[in-house]
Amino acid sequence: MRYAIVTETYPPEVNGVALTVQVLEQGLRDRGNAVTVIRPSQSRADQPAPHETLVRGANLPRYPGLKFGLPATGTLVTSWASSPPDAIYVATEGPLGWSALRAARRLGIPAAAGFHTRFDSYMRDYGAGFLEATAMRWMRRFHNGANATLVPTRELQDFLQSAGFNDVVLLPRAVDAVLFHPAKRDHELRAQWQAVEGSPVVIHVGRIAAEKNLALAVDAYRALQRVRPDARYVWIGDGPARPQLERDNPDFIFCGIQRGESLARHVASGDLFLFPSRSETFGNVTLEAMASSVPTIAFDYGAAREYLRDGQHGAAVSDCACDNNANAAFIAAACHIGSDPVLRREMGLRARTAVADLRPENVSIRFESILAGLAIAGGNDARVATA
Is residue 364 within 8 Å of residue 28, measured between CB atoms? Answer: yes
At residue 294, what is the residue type?
Answer: V
**Burial grade of 241 (CB within 10 A; 0-12, 13-18, 19 or more):** middle
Return the H-helix or E-strand segment holding 158. Answer: helix 154-162
Residue 253: its pLDDT value, please?
Answer: 98
Average pLDDT (137-142) is 93
User: Out of 118-127, 165-174, 312-321, which region has the weakest mean confidence (pLDDT)?
Assistant: 118-127
The CATH classification number of 2-174+359-381 equals: 3.40.50.2000
Q: Between 83 and 45, where is the model more confident? A: 83
Strands 148-151 and 52-55: unpaired
Q: Provide, rounded to the nearest whole percent, the portion of the chain with pLDDT above 90.
A: 75
Residue 386: its pLDDT value, please?
Answer: 45
What phi, psi does 277 have (nearest 5°)? -60, 145
pLDDT digits (tens, 9 = 90+) for 225-277: 999 999 999 999 999 999 999 999 999 999 999 999 999 999 999 999 999 99
Residue 74: its pLDDT value, please?
Answer: 95
Residue 379: its pLDDT value, please?
Answer: 67
At residue 328, what is the residue type?
Answer: A
Residue 103 CA to residue 83 CA, distance in Å, equals 13
Return the H-helix or E-strand segment holding 267. Answer: helix 260-268
Average pLDDT (165-194) is 96
Does domain 182-355 fall under CATH 3.40.50.2000? My reply is yes
Q: Residue 378, Cα to own-chain centre: how many angstroms? A: 30
Residue 196: its pLDDT value, please?
Answer: 84
User: Out of 51-55, 121-125, 175-179, 249-253, which region has the weakest mean confidence (pLDDT)?
Assistant: 121-125
pLDDT category at 57 given cuts 50, 70, 90 is: confident
Residue 117 CA to residue 91 CA, distance in Å, equals 10
Average pLDDT (344-369) is 95
Strands 57-59 and 67-69: antiparallel
Residue 51 has pLDDT above 60, yes or no: yes
Residue 208 CA to residue 77 CA, distance in Å, equals 38
Strand, helix or coil for residue 256: strand
Residue 130 has pLDDT above 80, yes or no: no
Residue 85 has pLDDT above 60, yes or no: yes
Residue 387 has pLDDT above 70, yes or no: no
Residue 253 CA to residue 234 CA, distance in Å, equals 5
Average pLDDT (352-357) is 94
pLDDT digits (tens, 9 = 90+) for 281-320: 888 999 999 999 999 999 999 899 999 999 999 999 997 6
Domain with CATH 3.40.50.2000 in the chain: 2-174+359-381, 182-355
Write the CB contacts of 323 (distance below 8 Å, at least 6 apart in sequence): none
pLDDT category at 119 given cuts 50, 70, 90 is: low
Residue 13: its pLDDT value, please?
Answer: 85
- Whether the CA torsion 121, 317, 170, 214 is positive or negative: it is positive
